[in-house]
Amino acid sequence: MAQCFALMGWSLPVIESMQKINKPFVVVSFPDFENYAKENNIPFVPYQLNEWSDSSNSLDLAEKLKPFNVDVAVPLFEETVEWAGALNSLYRNDPRVLNRAFLFRNKAMMKRKALIGGLRVGLFEEVFNREGVKSFMTRLNEANLQLNGEEDSWVHIKPFASAGTVGHRLLRSMSDIDEKVEDDDFPCLAESHLSGQEFSCEAFVHGGKVRFLNITEYVRLGYSNFIPEGNYLNSKRDRILGEVQKLVDIFGIEYGMVHPEWFLTDKDEISFGETACRIPGGHILELAAKAYDFDALAAFVLCHDPSLTEDELQQILPPMDARPQTFYGNVMIYPHKNSISKLEIPEELKEEPYFLDHNLVPPMTTQKISDRAGFGNHFGTVNFKGEDPDRMRELLLHYENVDFYL
């Protein structure tokens, strides 16, 4: 077992999980959290993680972590992935660990590595201005054999290193490029639209092998999902596991957890979207913990430890063939209006047998809603539990469109 885990980023649920399993850890995060950590006896090293400089670098941080005997670093959030990679390169004496971390932080590099390795990906290109996006859309139209007057091929632009949907824009036409794209979106990655059922995998990896695989079925990206996957995706589970293991092999992933997103088409083709190696959004690990009855956050941390034994792995992870009979899902709630003054919970929700709970909070006063980056910060979740995945999907689709904030 590791001597001490460095938790890169601030997450109270992860801290609580580590306290429950009584494993040594120290939190590395911004100085803003230091007082809270001291008041609650949380081992803590304050550090400016938003810059690389002479006074803020992995060698300096490694020195500050020596008194804690840290030998494993764990990235909790997107912005700490390369920090953890740099530290683990030192702890394992393997510079490729940092190189692999950069794969997760540069979507263009990630796509190229996936393509070289044989994964099915869409067309993609680095672009530096609006004209570059227009040229990309033109070439995509040509590749799709579009005729004059037909709808343009859809293009997505994304920042190279942002988490989730932040900065993600879907452009459906040439006019969208002029109307929706901002100067500060560049440089970025442009990619073709991938069709099909979108889902993510949460693959717990140790020794370069997938030791447990959760499949999260997305009802709508950024809004709703449920665990375990529905019956159709479950029928493809062996194929999905094969693609995830192929990704692990291509990227050279040895320890931790990867969170790739995929698309399954009507023609039974699996396309790779992108992947991450930190805690996924959408409360996915929370749902997985409930469905599979294990501490998913603790397992996420411990799988980063190269010294973990087979017996210890079996103790912290569900069996590979586990298939829960109860499904857990949630819908993330965003106000539909620019100004809200009250929270209203529909009676039909209170009477719904699958309704579990919610954490929505009424606004204190009339509140203006600012423009969102990506999908923005949701105001809370409505959670469901039930035995029929088809009914779960219906409920999540329905409550995406219910206006809880008036």
CATH number of the domain that residue 46 is part of: 3.40.50.2000
Nearest CA to 246 out of 117, 131, 146 is that of 117
pTM of the model: 0.93
Structure confidence at residue 339 (pLDDT): 77
Residue that terminates a domain, selected from 192, 222, 239? 192
**Cα gap 104→253, rounded to integer Å:** 11
Domain annotation covers residue 119: no
pLDDT in tens, the chain (406 residues): 899 999 999 999 999 999 999 999 999 999 999 999 999 999 999 999 987 766 679 999 999 999 999 999 999 999 999 999 999 999 999 999 999 999 999 999 999 999 999 999 999 999 999 999 999 999 999 999 988 888 999 999 988 877 666 777 889 999 999 999 998 899 999 999 999 999 999 999 999 999 999 999 999 988 899 999 999 999 999 999 999 999 999 999 999 999 999 999 989 999 999 999 999 988 999 999 999 999 999 999 999 999 999 999 999 999 999 999 999 999 999 888 777 888 999 999 999 999 999 999 888 777 776 654 434 457 899 999 999 999 999 999 999 999 999 8
Same domain, 217 and 276: yes
Structure confidence at residue 340 (pLDDT): 83
Same domain, 297 and 335: no
Structure confidence at residue 373 (pLDDT): 41
Domain coverage including residue 29: 5-105
Domain annotation covers residue 110: no
Strand, helix or coil at 258? strand
**Cα gap 223→333, rounded to integer Å:** 7
Structure confidence at residue 163 (pLDDT): 66
**Chain Cα centroid distance, residue 290:** 18
Structure confidence at residue 384 (pLDDT): 98
Structure confidence at residue 325 (pLDDT): 96
Same domain, 199 and 318: yes
Same domain, 281 and 313: yes
Residue that terminates a domain, selected from 279, 307, 324? 324
Query: Structure tokens of 383?
Result: 């959670």
Question: What is the phi/psi pair of residue 392, to 5°?
Answer: -60, -45
Structure confidence at residue 255 (pLDDT): 98
Residue that terminates a domain, selected from 168, 192, 216? 192
Work out how many domains the chain is built from and give that number: 4
Structure confidence at residue 151 (pLDDT): 92
Same domain, 361 and 350: yes
Contact criterion met (CB below 8 Å) for 144 and 225: no
What's the farthest any 2 CA atoms get from each other in the chain? 67
Contact criterion met (CB below 8 Å) for 1 and 313: no
Domain annotation covers residue 296: yes
Same domain, 224 and 310: yes
Same domain, 216 and 309: yes
